[in-house]
């Protein structure tokens, strides 16, 4: 009898079907492994930022402010430029000072100067979550005459904690300018670690805001979502502030309803929640299902709330 060499059509189809099933089974595992690596990288970013804050505090004896009002600019630089020497970006900090001494208080890379300088257009890896679909450029701000380079500057996916809307809240002329002073960073703040009476393990330092897809308002996407790391707050002539790189906590994590600019929710592309750095330097993944009351309690530095396990 003559021996067959090779597969019959039916055998070949069976082999193909088996391979397809194996691929279908393995692909989710591969995707999960990749996301786990990205989530770990995001966690490491927050750890580095928290450590940088502590190192800054050791030198300056207080945490960075959410920018200071200055007569020269409406968009004062926020906490990121002050941390540059502590996140291996000292050369960038020196380059800013070479433009003008005391750049962090006298200039803003916003409208008419420095807009295309690589100092500001080159992204900073530690400031962006690798899971974010929006990338490392501030891409969700609409380009207008006043924002000609809004989508070319490096993005910021982590925002500092300004406090809870329920504690030490300051209302502005319009609701978009409301802010709180109960957190660890707010306009013209001078908070020291020993001012955190609730305990550094129970107080948020930074949280993720790496997802803003679907937010339709230009004020929300520009100021509440993915924005350049160079903006601290907008300083209105009547004394009100529009928070940009720090935020007031009023809504649950990944909340999708209606909200005001200074109170946009913490968001992420991680499944089920977002990552937060606490003031003790630790990083926690907090669930979308976390009680809003607990989240608000974690926002205050001396609210006296009893939090328990979270």
In contact, 205 and 181? CB cutoff 8 Å:
no
Total residue count of the chain as it appears in this document:
310
Region of residue 54 (left: phi > 0; alpha: psi -120 to 50; beta: else): alpha
Secondary structure E strands in 131-264: 155-156, 158-164, 169-170, 179-180, 204-208, 227-228, 233-235, 241-243, 246-249
pLDDT of residue 219: 45
pLDDT at 143: 58
Which residue is associated with the tokens 């391979």? 19
Per the CB < 8 A criterion, the answer to whether 154 and 141 are in contact is no
Residue 114: per-residue pLDDT? 65
Contact in structure between 112 and 127 (CB atoms under 8 Å) = no
Rounded Cα–Cα distance for residues 117 and 153 (Å): 9
Q: What is the DSSP letter of 247?
A: E
Per-block mean pLDDT, blocks of 10 residues, the chain (310 long): 66 84 78 84 98 97 84 77 94 86 71 70 92 78 57 85 86 64 90 96 94 52 62 67 81 82 83 96 97 95 87
| Predicted pLDDT of residue 310 | 81
> Alpha helix (H) ranges present in 86-144?
90-99, 103-106, 118-121
């Amino acid at each position: 009898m003559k021996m067959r060499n090779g597969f019959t059509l039916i055998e070949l189809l069976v082999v193909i079907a088996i391979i397809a099933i194996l691929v279908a089974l393995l692909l989710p595992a591969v995707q999960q492994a990749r996301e786990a690596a990205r989530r770990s990288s995001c966690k490491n970013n927050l750890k580095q930022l928290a450590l940088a804050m502590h190192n800054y505090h050791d030198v300056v004896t207080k945490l960075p402010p959410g920018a200071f009002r200055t007569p020269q600019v409406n968009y004062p630089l926020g906490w990121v430029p002050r941390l540059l020497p502590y996140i291996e970006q000292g050369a960038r900090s020196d380059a800013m000072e070479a433009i003008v001494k005391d750049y962090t208080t006298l200039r803003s890379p916003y409208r008419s100067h420095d807009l295309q300088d690589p100092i500001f257009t080159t992204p900073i890896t530690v400031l962006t979550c690798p899971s974010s679909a929006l990338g490392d450029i501030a891409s969700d701000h609409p380009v207008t005459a006043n924002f000609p380079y809004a989508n070319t500057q490096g993005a910021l996916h982590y925002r500092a904690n300004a406090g809870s809307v329920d504690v030490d809240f300051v209302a502005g002329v319009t609701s978009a300018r409301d802010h709180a002073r109960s957190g660890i960073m707010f306009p013209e703040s001078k908070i020291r670690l020993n001012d955190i009476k609730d305990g550094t393990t129970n107080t948020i330092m930074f949280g993720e805001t790496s997802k803003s897809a679907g937010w339709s308002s230009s004020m929300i996407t520009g100021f509440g979502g993915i924005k350049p790391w160079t903006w601290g707050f907008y300083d209105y002539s009547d004394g009100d502030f529009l928070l940009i790189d720090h935020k007031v906590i009023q809504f649950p994590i990944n909340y999708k309803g209606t909200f005001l600019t200074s109170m946009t929710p913490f968001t992420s592309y991680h499944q089920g929640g977002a990552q937060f750095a606490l003031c003790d330097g630790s990083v926690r993944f907090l669930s979308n299902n976390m009680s809003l009351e607990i989240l608000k309690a974690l926002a205050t530095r001396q609210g006296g709330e009893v939090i328990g396990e979270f």
